[in-house]
Structure 1
Amino acid sequence: MAALVFAFTNGLHDAAHTIVTSVASRALTPRIAILLAVLMNLLGAFLGEGVARTIGQNIISPTEGGDGLAVLFAALCGAVAWNLFAWYRGMPSSASHALVGGMVGAALASAGSVHWGGVATSFLIPMLVAPLLGWLFGYLIMLAILWLFQHTSPRSVNRGFKLAQSVSAAALALGNGLQDAQKTMGIVVLALITVGRQDTYHLPDWVVVCSAVAISLGTATGGWRIMRTLGRRMIHIDPARGFSVEAAVSIIMGFTALVWYAPISSTHTTTSAIVGAGTARKLAAVRWGVFVNIVCFWLLTVPATAVLSACVYGLVRLVF
Structure 2
Amino acid sequence: MDTLLFLTILVVIFALAFDFINGFHDTANAIATSVSTRALKPRTAVYMAAIMNFIGALTFTGVAKTISKDIVDPFVLENGSLVILAALTAAIAWNLITWYYGIPSSSSHALIGSIAGAAISAAGFGILNYGGFLKIMQALIFSPFIALAGGFLMMTLFKIVMKNRNLFKQNKRIRYLQIGTAALQAFTHGTNDAQKAMGIITMALIAAELQTSDDIQLWVRVSAALAMGIGTSVGGYKIIKTVGGKIMKIRPVNGAAADLTSAMIIFGATLIHLPVSTTHVISSSIMGVGSAQRVRGVKWGVAKKIVLTWIITLPISATIAAIVYQVLALFF
Q: TM-score, normalised by structure 1?
A: 0.97
| Alpha carbons 1:66, 1:195 under 8 Å: kept | no
Q: Pick one of 45, 48, 55 that aligns with 1:43.
A: 55
Amino acid at match of 2:166: S
In the alignment, which residue of structure 1 is the partner of 2:260? Answer: 247
| Alpha carbons 2:154, 2:289 under 8 Å: kept | yes
Q: Pick one of 200, 216, 220 that aligns with 2:213.
A: 200
1:124 aligned to 2:137?
A: yes
Distance in 2 separating the partners of 1:275 and 1:153: 25
Amino acid at match of 1:15: T
1:253, distance to aligned residue in structure 2 (A): 1.1
1:57, distance to aligned residue in structure 2 (A): 0.9
In the alignment, which residue of structure 2 is the partner of 1:33? Answer: 45
Q: Pick one of 111, 118, 125 that aligns with 1:106.
A: 118
Deviates more, 1:127-136 or 1:178-187: 127-136
Over aligned residue pairs, what C-alpha RMSD do you find? 1.2
Distance in 2 separating the partners of 1:204 and 1:117: 26
| Alpha carbons 2:147, 2:281 under 8 Å: kept | yes
SS at match of 1:92: coil
Distance in 1 separating the partners of 2:220 and 2:172: 42
SS at match of 1:269: helix
Distance in 2 separating the partners of 1:158 and 1:151: 14
C-alpha deviations, 1:104-162, integer Å up to 9, x for none? 000000027111111111x1110122111111111111111112112111111101110
1:61, distance to aligned residue in structure 2 (A): 2.5
Distance in 2 separating the partners of 1:199 and 1:99: 23
Query: After superposition, where does 1:115-194 map in structure 2 within 5 Å?
Result: 115-121=129-135, 123-194=136-207
Distance in 2 separating the partners of 1:190 and 1:124: 19
In the alignment, which residue of structure 1 is the partner of 2:81? Answer: 69
C-alpha deviations, 1:57-114, integer Å up to 9, x for none? 1001257687110000000000000000110111101101100000000000002711
Distance in 2 separating the partners of 1:262 and 1:62: 18
Distance in 2 separating the partners of 1:261 and 1:62: 18
1:267 aligned to 2:279?
A: yes
| Alpha carbons 1:62, 1:71 under 8 Å: kept | no
1:282 aligned to 2:294?
A: yes
SS at match of 1:235: coil
Query: After superposition, where does 1:278-317 map in structure 2 within 5 Å?
Result: 278-317=290-329
The answer for unaligned runs of 5 or more in structure 2 is 1-12
**Deviating 4+ runs (over 6 angstroms):** 63-66
Distance in 2 separating the partners of 1:12 and 1:212: 13
Distance in 2 separating the partners of 1:110 and 1:140: 45
The answer for unaligned runs of 5 or more in structure 1 is none
1:219 aligned to 2:232?
A: yes
| Alpha carbons 1:192, 1:198 under 8 Å: kept | yes
Distance in 2 separating the partners of 1:223 and 1:203: 29
In the alignment, which residue of structure 1 is the partner of 2:223? Answer: 210
Q: TM-score, normalised by structure 2?
A: 0.94
| Alpha carbons 2:91, 2:110 under 8 Å: kept | yes
Q: Pick one of 48, 70, 76 that aligns with 1:58.
A: 70
